[in-house]
Structure 1
Amino acid sequence: MARPAAGDVPGPTDTNLNLVTTYLEVPFKEKDEAKALGARWDAGERKWYVPEGTDVALFSAWLPVSTKTANSASVPTSQRAPSLESAGRDVALPKKGVTLSQLLASVAQAVAQSFRSGVWTIVEVVETRVRNGHVYLELSERSTDGSLLATARAIIWANIANRILPEFERATGASIAPGIKLLVRAKPNFKPQYGFSIEIDAIDPDYTLGDLEARKREIRSRLQQEGIFDANKKLPAPWDFNAILVIAPQEAAGLGDFRAEAKRLERFGVCRFVYASSRFQGEGAAREIRDALLNALADWDESGNASPDAVVIIRGGGAVNDLAWLNDYELAKTICCLRVPVLTGVGHERDSTIIDEVANTRFDTPSKVAAGIEQVIKRRVDESRVNFEFVTAHATRVGNAARVLLDKGFTAIQSGAIRQVGTARQTTSALIGELQLGANLTVRDAKHDAGTLMTDIEHKAYQLLAMAKRDVPSAFAGISGGAGNVVKTARALTTTRLEAIHDRTSLDVRRSKESIEQGLQSVALSAQHQIASARNRATAVFREVAGQGPEKTLGRGFAIVRDQRGQPVTSAADAKSMVELEIELRDGRVAVGVKQGW
């Protein structure tokens, strides 16, 4: 319906005051505007009307044609309200001025005539409130440097909100919240009582999705240009987990799911978790996450502990724009430059943020991060069990082979020692026999030489005696003395030779004994060295086998199930067929019964 121009609005004269009930023709979409001007609803007639004592001119846009004509005819030109232009010139004249309500009513009509339909407008939501189903918004526009360019209040009426908001949330996964950018169909509206506002009756979801994706695309491009986009992703995934740093919102539902799984690993001493909390949405959330992460790593280094095996960043599900706070360049760059693998579990399977793209490993939810960690630990345990069984079997084979070699070596050493002793005895007996024979020959030769010498001496003595008998008796004394000297000399020479023969024989016998003893000691020492070396090798093998025992694995919270014969049970099917089992734990064994039918 066409509305009068601002200059055609009648003034508040007595002839314009409504003294009877005047019904209006108000379209449904304009009911709030008419109500704001003072119109009332007649439930019986199901029409809006102008209350008595109210200026009918304010509702000229909705007056029936007959009523408009009558009112126009009854109001003299001199008594009508001046236009906005003339009102501005005459505002200083009290008798010719307009009331504030008339001025604002003219503004309202001017705005309504200028914007008969909505205009697609780009806005950023600053604040949201919901009251009686109506959604009240504070909107703004900022320049690239953050300067405020414009602000306005907006409203989405309840009946429209119930229609467009579910469609928007379904299409984008986002909700109307501070920080989100929207392309809305906005109709400016001005009410004298409430001032200027915007009525929103449509939202384009494609623009919001495009804005969120454009923000991620810009961050992705910057990181790729700097050559660090996939730096964290290229780090080798943790081979095992012993200590993990967790960054999450405090008391969040997603953190509760993660912590429930983590506590089970901590209870058995498998892995240690250190938690640092931060806001994950709202202005400045990305900076707080970055600060919490860097501060926690700095504290970790100062504690003297080895770096964590991984950093986990988690939060539960939420609207797309709630997660959009994580699409921050500085936060993503920090993750890229970390020398520790980062695991993320943000939102749900359909959610994706820039920190998911740059992280070493991305999981759909926080609980799946915990499950992934547990799977890696279980994989290592299974590998350790297989390796332990392999090492045990190999050690058993090596031990058996070593035992056989040791037995063979000991037997060979024993046989060699016996042979060496036998050979030494034979050699010693031969040497002793040779020494005895040599001694006997030497004694015999000495005796023969002594006999020959005595014969010579006696012969010479007889000759000398004969010569002495022939000589003058006076020479007898000299001859007797010379003969005594000769006999004495012969005897001394014989004695000396016998002693030399005896000493030489004793020395040879002693040297032979010493050689035999040294040979026996060398044989014994060699045999002892070989036996000790074999014993040391066997001890090392047994120590290596014992060092790889199941106690370490049992200390990590695992158990060995054995049957009544003490053999390991490795399958549930075998366990069900038995009546009683024995479970070996870290500090002992427990006998248990098997409940049939499970």
Structure 2
Amino acid sequence: MSGTYLASTFADKDRVKSLGARWDPARRQWYVPDGRELTPFAQWLPEGSVPVEPPSSALAAVTTLADRSVTRQRGMPLSQLLQGVSAAVSQAFKAGVWTMIEVVDTRVRNGHVYLEVSERDASGVITAKATAVVWASTASQILPHFEAATGAQVGPGIKLLVRARPVFKAQYGFSLELDAIDPDYTLGDLEARKREIRERLQREGLFELNRQLPSPWDYNLVLVIAPEGAAGLGDFQAEARRLEAFGVCRFVYVHSRFQGDGASAEIRTALLAALERMARDEALPDAVAIIRGGGAINDMAWLNDYALVRAVCELEVPVLTGIGHERDNTVLDEVANIRYDTPSKVIAGIERLILQRAQEAKAWFADITRLTSRAMGNTRRSTVEHFTAIEAGARQEIARSRQQATELLSGLQLDAAKTVRNAAEQAQSQMSDVRRFAAQQVSKARIEVPALLSEIRADARQTLQTARATADANKALVIDRAAADLRYVKQAVNQSFDEVTLKSRQVLTLARTEAQALMREVAGQGPEKTLSRGFTLIRDHADHPVTSACHTGEQITIQFRDGTRTARLQKDKQP
């Protein structure tokens, strides 16, 4: 094996492999085969492997020329200096150099692709920045090949391995001309990012959390996260509206950007805020659907964010994803409870489960109806059979009872006659005993009643005397209490009378004051003041005030503020 061995670590193995390095199992080290450009592997090359070229002769000539110009005069023209720099850059970089860049912005003009590119360190700080261009003739050759190989488009956020030739022009400044793009590097970077997120979540025990949740048994409420106005969302809503129209399932929509810097954080914030709102206002949804239509791979790459994927893993609600097309894959799809290829398939899956549950309910209802009908038939037959048996048994019992009743009636009549005869004999004997006992009680009562009557009269007299004494005592108490209440009422009446008198005097004083004020105001509003404000007083020949326009032909007197005038009223002229 021949080549240049690299000083790479285990963590760098995927990157160097994606750039074309090979593994030497004997030396347990990665190496770059002979004939392959070493520039992409600059950070792993041992010290001294890449010789540093001395300044070119063109740069030396520019320096010499600048020194001579300064010697002859106070300075050199800017154009001459920049032309020298341009010649030096052109001499130093006659061919392109493989360079790793990250695209910040892109613009297309007349087929030419203008780029802003940068390099960031591990903390995300920009350490280098430049402008680059892919001329239209080159772009038509390399960009279709790159897009076909990776499924990605050259756009903001994508990392590329490009062959770049530095160019400096006196009028336009410094830029990079790109003439080749390595698709393997971009695919390796995208896959490395997904692999890093996947391995980190697996180490933390979070990767399977949402996938292990029970899938929704049915759908009644679904939270949908999607870009506003996206075509995929429109396809989803077209079917969702049918379900909502029949009251089968309700959908709550939350919109967010799905690509561009900060898109993943915006999706995470919108998702968690919506779930918190729903938990507070009603209930958590049966599922969360994260959907967006198709696009380039690098458009989907914004969703491969650790914080966003972890938030989805930790949700207590099953997550459904429908992102892109069938060939698209993100880490969100891998951790979701159920993954669909497109937004249309998400709503189709929801609709399919709802239909399945409806069909099951219909089948269960049919089974219940069938079993109920069968049970009712069996019960009806059993009831008829039991009724027939009961009726036959009842008839037999009635016949037996009639026979027994006849026999019992004969015995009862015989027993009743004996009982009546015995009762008559006993009644005569008991009547004699009663008469004898009654005579004894009457004789006893005649002896005891006069004594008891005397005792009752004595007790009555004593009770009457006690009652009279108690009544006299209570009468004095009632008279004292009535006198006290009368004094209290008299005092309260006098106090109320004093208060009414005081308030009446206050009211009379206030009324007198207000009446005097009104009198002063009326006195101040006499005819003189009224006339002084521009009014006049009109009287007829009898010196009575004229208040109507009907006094036609009469002579009137008009009194002004400073004198009087006479006039005669005339009819209005007819138009």
What TM-score bracket applies, with the shorter chain setting the length? 0.5 to 0.7
How far did residue 409 of structure 1 move? 3.9
Contact 1:313–1:344 (8 Å) recurs in 2: yes
Query: Quick check: 1:323 aligned with 2:297?
Result: no
Query: Quick check: 1:393 aligned with 2:375?
Result: no
Query: Which residue of the partner structure matches residue 288 of structure 1?
Result: 266
Question: Equivalent residues in 2 for 1:562-573 (5 A)?
Answer: none
Query: Which residue of the partner structure matches residue 435 of structure 1?
Result: 412
Query: Which residue of the partner structure matches residue 181 of structure 1?
Result: 159
Question: Equivalent residues in 2 for 1:112-127 (5 A)?
Answer: 112-127=90-105
SS in 2 for 1:282: coil
Q: CA RMSD in A?
A: 2.7
How far did residue 294 of structure 1 move? 0.9
Comparing 367-376 with 429-438, greater Cα deviation is found at: 429-438
Query: Quick check: 1:309 aligned with 2:293?
Result: no
How far did residue 92 of structure 1 move? 5.4
Contact 2:264–2:308 (8 Å) recurs in 1: yes
Contact 2:70–2:76 (8 Å) recurs in 1: no
Comparing 259-268 with 351-360, greater Cα deviation is found at: 259-268
**Correspondent of 2:143 among 154, 165, 176:** 165
One-letter amino acid matched to 1:327: N
Contact 1:261–1:370 (8 Å) recurs in 2: yes
How far did residue 88 of structure 1 move? 5.2
**Residues of 2 paired with 1:317 and 1:446: CA distance?**
114
Query: Quick check: 1:408 aligned with 2:394?
Result: no
Contact 1:87–1:97 (8 Å) recurs in 2: no
SS in 2 for 1:406: helix
1:371–1:442 Cα change, 3 Å: closer
**Residues of 2 paired with 1:496 and 1:436: CA distance?**
29
**Residues of 2 paired with 1:440 and 1:96: CA distance?**
168
Query: Which residue of the partner structure matches residue 209 of structure 1?
Result: 187
**Residues of 1 paired with 2:174 and 2:158: CA distance?**
22
One-letter amino acid matched to 1:172: T
**Residues of 2 paired with 1:194 and 1:495: CA distance?**
152
Query: Which residue of the partner structure matches residue 370 of structure 1?
Result: 347
**Residues of 2 paired with 1:338 and 1:434: CA distance?**
91
SS in 2 for 1:129: strand
Q: Which whole-Å deviations, capped at 9, do the CAs of 1:282-326 have from their partners, x for residues lacking one?
A: 00101111111111111111222x321111110000000001000
Query: Which residue of the partner structure matches residue 223 of structure 2?
Result: 245
**Residues of 2 paired with 1:238 and 1:445: CA distance?**
91
SS in 1 for 2:73: helix
Contact 1:90–1:96 (8 Å) recurs in 2: no
Query: Which residue of the partner structure matches residue 517 of structure 1?
Result: none
Contact 1:90–1:97 (8 Å) recurs in 2: no
Contact 2:66–2:76 (8 Å) recurs in 1: no
How far did residue 408 of structure 1 move? 3.4
- Between 1 and 2, higher relative CO (CA 8 Å, sep ≥ 6) is seen in 1
Query: Quick check: 1:338 aligned with 2:309?
Result: no
**Residues of 2 paired with 1:181 and 1:446: CA distance?**
128
How far did residue 167 of structure 1 move? 0.3
One-letter amino acid matched to 2:412: L
**Residues of 2 paired with 1:442 and 1:266: CA distance?**
90
Contact 1:246–1:275 (8 Å) recurs in 2: yes
1:162–1:495 Cα change, 3 Å: same
Query: Quick check: 1:103 aligned with 2:81?
Result: yes
Q: Which structure 2 residue ranges, 5 or more long, are not aligned?
A: 1-57, 434-575
**TM-score, normalized by length of structure 1?**
0.59
Query: Which residue of the partner structure matches residue 226 of structure 1?
Result: 204
Q: Which structure 1 residue ranges, 5 or more long, are not aligned?
A: 1-60, 62-80, 451-489, 498-598
How far did residue 190 of structure 1 move? 0.8
Contact 1:232–1:360 (8 Å) recurs in 2: yes
The number of residues matched between the two structures is: 376
Query: Which residue of the partner structure matches residue 300 of structure 1?
Result: 278
How far did residue 446 of structure 1 move? 9.2
SS in 1 for 2:180: strand
**Correspondent of 1:141 among 111, 119, 130:** 119
One-letter amino acid matched to 1:162: S
Query: Which residue of the partner structure matches residue 480 of structure 1?
Result: none
Query: Which residue of the partner structure matches residue 560 of structure 1?
Result: none
Question: Equivalent residues in 2 for 1:507-586 (5 A)?
Answer: none
One-letter amino acid matched to 1:394: L
Query: Which residue of the partner structure matches residue 360 of structure 1?
Result: 337
1:394–1:444 Cα change, 3 Å: same
Contact 2:224–2:253 (8 Å) recurs in 1: yes
How far did residue 495 of structure 1 move? 8.1
1:425–1:119 Cα change, 3 Å: same
SS in 2 for 1:179: coil
**TM-score, normalized by length of structure 2?**
0.61
**Residues of 1 paired with 2:60 and 2:121: CA distance?**
40
Q: Which whole-Å deviations, capped at 9, do the CAs of 1:478-508 have from their partners, x for residues lacking one?
A: xxxxxxxxxxxx99449889xxxxxxxxxxx
Q: Which whole-Å deviations, capped at 9, do the CAs of 1:237-277 have from their partners, x for residues lacking one?
A: 21211111111000000001111111111111111111110
Query: Which residue of the partner structure matches residue 534 of structure 2?
Result: none
One-letter amino acid matched to 1:369: V
How far did residue 402 of structure 1 move? 1.8
Contact 2:132–2:175 (8 Å) recurs in 1: yes
Contact 1:212–1:324 (8 Å) recurs in 2: yes
**Residues of 2 paired with 1:281 and 1:139: CA distance?**
18
1:418–1:376 Cα change, 3 Å: same
Contact 2:210–2:318 (8 Å) recurs in 1: yes
Q: Which whole-Å deviations, capped at 9, do the CAs of 1:57-100 have from their partners, x for residues lacking one?
A: xxxx9xxxxxxxxxxxxxxxxxxx99433455567556264322
**Residues of 2 paired with 1:119 and 1:494: CA distance?**
147
**Residues of 2 paired with 1:276 and 1:341: CA distance?**
17
**Residues of 2 paired with 1:346 and 1:96: CA distance?**
66
1:402–1:82 Cα change, 3 Å: closer
How far did residue 440 of structure 1 move? 3.4
**Correspondent of 2:249 among 265, 268, 271:** 271
SS in 1 for 2:217: coil
Query: Which residue of the partner structure matches residue 175 of structure 2?
Result: 197
1:161–1:415 Cα change, 3 Å: same
How far did residue 438 of structure 1 move? 2.1
Q: Which whole-Å deviations, capped at 9, do the CAs of 1:514-571 have from their partners, x for residues lacking one?
A: xxxxxxxxxxxxxxxxxxxxxxxxxxxxxxxxxxxxxxxxxxxxxxxxxxxxxxxxxx
One-letter amino acid matched to 2:292: R
Query: Quick check: 1:381 aligned with 2:358?
Result: yes
**Residues of 1 paired with 2:184 and 2:196: CA distance?**
18
How far did residue 132 of structure 1 move? 0.8
1:192–1:409 Cα change, 3 Å: same
1:492–1:165 Cα change, 3 Å: closer
1:434–1:351 Cα change, 3 Å: same
**Residues of 2 paired with 1:246 and 1:392: CA distance?**
38
Question: Equivalent residues in 2 for 1:415-430 (5 A)?
Answer: 415=392, 425-430=402-407
1:404–1:116 Cα change, 3 Å: same
1:262–1:446 Cα change, 3 Å: closer
Q: Which whole-Å deviations, capped at 9, do the CAs of 1:384-403 have from their partners, x for residues lacking one?
A: 22222111111100111122
